[in-house]
Amino acid sequence: MSNSVTRSAPALRTCTVLLSAFCFLLTVLGCGGKTSSLLLERQARGPIAEEQAVATSVIWALEPATQTKTQNGLDISLTHATMPYLNKLFNNKQVFGGHAGLNPYFREQLVFYVRIANHTGKRVRIEPDRFVLLDDRGSQYHFLSPDYGTALAESKAPVATTTRGILDDARPGYFGVGLPVGKIIGKPQQRFALLELASLQAGDIYDGVVYDGLIAFWSPHWESQKLKLILGGIKTNFDAADLPQAVLEFVFECAASHPK
């Protein structure tokens, strides 16, 4: 009997250590509300007194909702992507396949659908990082990469989100419950995949190509009444050294209000 107890003691100690480590891991990873350094940046380049009213949850109505402009054979259409618009888009399994079902954007963001049709006879190069949104209160907002959307989602994650993902991925082990093996997959990764799939990406667009995607900015001050979106830095007329000889800028203006 004593030999049996002696032999089982190391196993019990190992079990205790592993379970303690596992519980600590759950505690650390399960404490939602993690704030990325991306969210600690100033969300607008403008009056600092306005900062607290920027990137808040706001429902916008923009007029006109859709605009199209043409320069030198380059057609760009811009549509305000409202939450109903985005919900319908991301539920489309023909577009997003197995990733469909989750709208990865939040009301703290102002999102636009952009469609670019190149009929210039030449290639053009777009750089969404050069796009900027202006309001009528003296602030400007930079283009948000998918990393910002992921960071915002993580900051909103409930306490149990990561923990639940870990438990779902746990596999039976030596003591009946094993530590997670492999990947922790859940809404954060699905959200990032959707943002990558849907976002307008930087790069060349050749003649005859139609390219579209979404661009996002922090939601402007809720009292803004006029917005101006500048799609700048669109390069074309490249020389033999691949240097652009022309840079186009498309400006879209709209009235902003809140639906009643």
pLDDT, one tens digit per residue, over 69-85 is 999 999 999 999 999 99
Distance CA 27, CA 150 (A): 21
Check whether 205 has a pLDDT greater than 50. Answer: yes
Of all residues in the chain, the percent with pLDDT exceeding 90 is: 60
Rounded mean pLDDT of the chain?
82
What's the pTM? 0.77
Q: 44-53, 155-164, 186-195, 220-229: lowest mean pLDDT where?
A: 155-164
- Residue 177: pLDDT above 80? no
Per-residue confidence at 174, pLDDT binned at 50, 70, 90?
very low
CA 225 – CA 37 distance, rounded (Å): 30
Higher pLDDT, 251 or 259: 251
Q: Which domains does the chain have, with CATH numbers?
A: 43-155+184-257 (2.60.40)
Residue appearing with tokens 């994650």: 157
Q: What b/e sequence results for 227-254 when a residue is b if at least 16 CB atoms lie within 10 Å of its CB, and e otherwise? A: bebbbebbbbebeeeeeeeeebebebeb
More confident residue, 177 or 108: 108
pLDDT band at 36 (very low <50, low <70, confident <90, very high): confident
Low-confidence winner among 30-34, 45-49, 199-203 (lowest mean pLDDT)? 30-34
pLDDT greater than 80 at residue 146:
yes
Which pLDDT band, with edges at 50, 70 and 90, does 2 fall under? low
Residue 22 has pLDDT above 70, yes or no: no
At residue 168, the pLDDT reads 42
Q: Would the pLDDT of 13 be above 90?
A: no
Kindly indicate the confidence band of residue 25, based on its pLDDT and cuts at 50, 70 and 90: very low
pLDDT, position 93: 93
Asked if pLDDT for residue 138 goes beyond 70, the answer is yes
The pairing of strands 66-71 and 109-118 is unpaired
Kindly tell me if the per-residue pLDDT of 149 is higher than 70: yes
- Is pLDDT larger for residue 179 or for residue 8? 8
Q: What is the pLDDT of residue 166?
A: 41
| Whether residue 119 has pLDDT greater than 60 | yes
Asked if residue 11 has pLDDT above 70, the reply is no
Count CB-CB contacts under 10 A for residue 56. Answer: 14
Token pair recorded at residue 125: 């190069």
CA 154 to centroid of chain Cα atoms: 11
